[in-house]
Structure 1
Amino acid sequence: MSRAARSKIDKYYEAVAVGLLVVDPTLDAQRIFQRAWANKLTKIWDRDVLLPAIVSLREDGVYYVLDGQHSNAVAKEVEGANFKRDCMIYTGLSRQQEAKLFLAANRDRKPVKPHDNFRVAITAGDEFSIRVEQEVKSCGLEIGSGTSVNRVGAVQALIAIGAKREGLIPKVLKSVEGAWGRDTTTWDNMMLRAVGMVIDKNWDIIKLDRLSKTLQKAPVGLWKGKAITLTTSGGGSNSRSVPLARQIIVEYNRGLRGGTPALVPVD
């Protein structure tokens, strides 16, 4: 088909075998394939919720992926090259127009807040999210978009703790409540993550009452301030929680007697 015949831009939906969808190595953004992100998609793979890829069918008859590179690679690995994926296919695009579509697909998406994502997962019947919510409710608390004395807003921390093992969330929440009561500072993201690390690592030997008394030695802000100074290159809540967890363990082990086992440091 001549360039003149293809000059008009058109678009339509079509199911295309993922083995036929390729990446243009000359498009800068598509050169960067992130294996870590693909691995994450593989773990949560669900063919029933795979969104359409945005594809340019060029003059050479080849389907070039403009948006959906990683999910397409995962689909090919998990389902095989003959697996057909729904695509929004454009024809007659210039390279500049392809680049604009790529930018629009990755720029014009408003990030979804963690709490909103969590609520949608509950509505979708996600078993893990439902378990997390039930464990929080078992403590007489709720998960909300903001933190209050009876509402935990640290959704990402709760998800991270829940992913470690079932039953860990109630132990974490009860330990911090035992230290500082029901206060807005008690349900701190960084603190919850750190306490979760401590309990998970020492599941069979930790004494939760002693842990609460250890935490009670200082307010949440002071614990966090010390941990931040020990964090290399700044770091986010998760990386800062590691030195915080180590501090908690040091204080917990201080002055142990009567055969009480010492806690094992977190990695």
Structure 2
Amino acid sequence: MAELCAERLDAPMGEYAFRIPEHEVTYGVAVKVADLKIDPQAQRTLNEKRAQKIFSGLVREAIGTVIVSKRPNGDLYIIDGQHRCRACTLAGIPIILAEVHHGLTRDQEAILFLIKNKESHKPRPIDEYHVGLTGGVPLFMDTDETLKRHRLALGSSSTNSVGAVSGVLQIVDRYGAEALDRTLTVAEKAWGRAAETWDGMLLGGIGMFIGRWGDLVDDAELAQKMLSMGTAAKWRSEILSQSSRGGFNNSRTGSRVTTACRLVAVAWNKGRKAENRIEA
């Protein structure tokens, strides 16, 4: 059965949306598992352990339908279901039912993958990030461009890489790429270029503070005041301590990132008159 799939608009994160064009979709197509291919740039990394787990409890009647893209040359690429396909290979099952999408580019395949996995079996943040780059999704492109300006990569914690993938994406989604740019600048000016500087809680707190009150803040002054309150390691320790007892004054009103934001406000407010303080 073939139908036209209308443009899909999903906005899983703030103003950024995932879009694919109207295209033909054929449902209930029996395809050979051996014919299905994987494009690593439009798909998450195969988790063999997960595939083995599916195989160990596989019920043939409950395999369901996988989602594939049929490219102009006839090749079939898996969009969603690669672990079930791997389990079928292990079980010696040659045929699986598929929902076949026609006429998509590789970029659009990547976006369809993100749409399909938005709520169930959500991919790892770093896989979602790389697939989003392949799809040209603005959220991921804007984040990547900002990181590159700071000579940073995303995916692991090191001097030149940020491990807090979700945290960085959240800053861009909620407050824009400029907020991330300023956040990274403030962090580096305060604590230098080190793995501890790019801690997710610290970046999240700075990003929230700048995102909400950035028009009132001088970044150089903020960085200097933050440094006066200690190293990145000391900040992290204090955030964990504050969070473990319910945040400031045991208020129990938020996450570690919220606690970090409040600490940034404390630094900024030092030496300021009450009427000039920012209440975070």
1:119–1:47 distance in 2 versus 1, CA, 3 Å: closer
CA distance 1:208–1:240, change in 2 (3 Å) = same
Residue 137 (structure 1) shift: 1.8
Match status 1:242 vs 2:253:
no
Indicate how the Cα distance of structure 1 residues 41 and 213 shifts in structure 2: closer, same or farther if over 3 A, else same.
Answer: closer
Following superposition, the deviation at residue 135 of structure 1 comes to: 1.5
Cross-structure match for 2:210: 199
- How far the C-alpha of 1:116 sits from its partner, in A, is 2.6
Which residue does 1:125 correspond to in 2?
136
- Are residues 1:142 and 2:157 paired? no
Aligned residues of 2:129 and 2:140 also touching (Cα < 8 A): yes
> Which of 183, 187, 199 does residue 176 from structure 1 map onto?
187
CA separation in 1, counterparts of 2:59 and 2:187?
A: 54
| Aligned counterparts of 2:279 and 2:22: Cα–Cα separation in 1 | 42
Structure 1 residue 263 and structure 2 residue 273: aligned? no
How much has 1:224 moved relative to structure 2? 2.5
SS at match of 1:230: helix
Q: Which residue of 2 aligns with 1:59?
A: none
TM-score (norm 2): 0.55
> What secondary structure does 1:203 align onto?
helix
| Equivalent residues, number | 190
- Aligned partners of 1:187 and 1:198: how far apart in 2? 16
State the partner residue of 1:87: 27
SS for the counterpart of 2:224 is helix
Trace 1:67-82 onto structure 2 (pairs within 5 A): none
- Point out where structure 2 has 5 or more consecutive residues left out of the alignment: 31-57, 67-79, 85-120, 248-253
What residue number does 1:224 align with? Answer: 236
User: Which stretch of the first structure deviates more once superposed, 180-189 or 123-132?
Assistant: 123-132
Q: Give the C-alpha shift of residue 244 in structure 1.
A: 1.4
Preserved CA contact (<8 Å) 1:152 1:187: yes
Deviation of residue 150 (structure 1)? Answer: 2.1
**SS of corresponding position for 1:221:** helix
Provide the rounded CA distance (Å) in 1 between the counterparts of 2:22 and 2:144. 23
Does residue 166 (structure 1) correspond to residue 172 (structure 2)? The answer is no
Matched, 1:101 2:113: no
Q: Which amino acid aligns with 1:250?
A: V
Q: Does 1:215 align with 2:155?
A: no
Following the alignment from structure 1 to structure 2, what is the Cα–Cα distance between the partners of residues 171 and 212? 11
Listed as ranges, the gaps of 5+ residues in structure 1 are: 1-13, 19-37, 51-83, 91-95
Greater gyration radius: 1
Q: Secondary structure at the match of 1:112?
A: coil
1:187 counterpart = 2:198: yes
**Maintained 8 Å contact 2:11/2:17:** no
Q: TM-score, normalised by structure 1?
A: 0.57
8 Å contact from structure 1 (residues 228, 234) kept in 2: no
**Which has the larger strand fraction?**
2
Task: Describe how 1:37-52 pairs up with structure 2 within 5 A.
Answer: 40=12, 44=17, 46=19, 48=21
Q: Residues of 2 paired with 1:199 and 1:225: CA distance?
A: 22
Give 1:154's match in structure 2, choosing from 153, 164, 174. 164
Q: Which amino acid aligns with 2:27?
A: C
3-state SS of 2:215 partner: coil
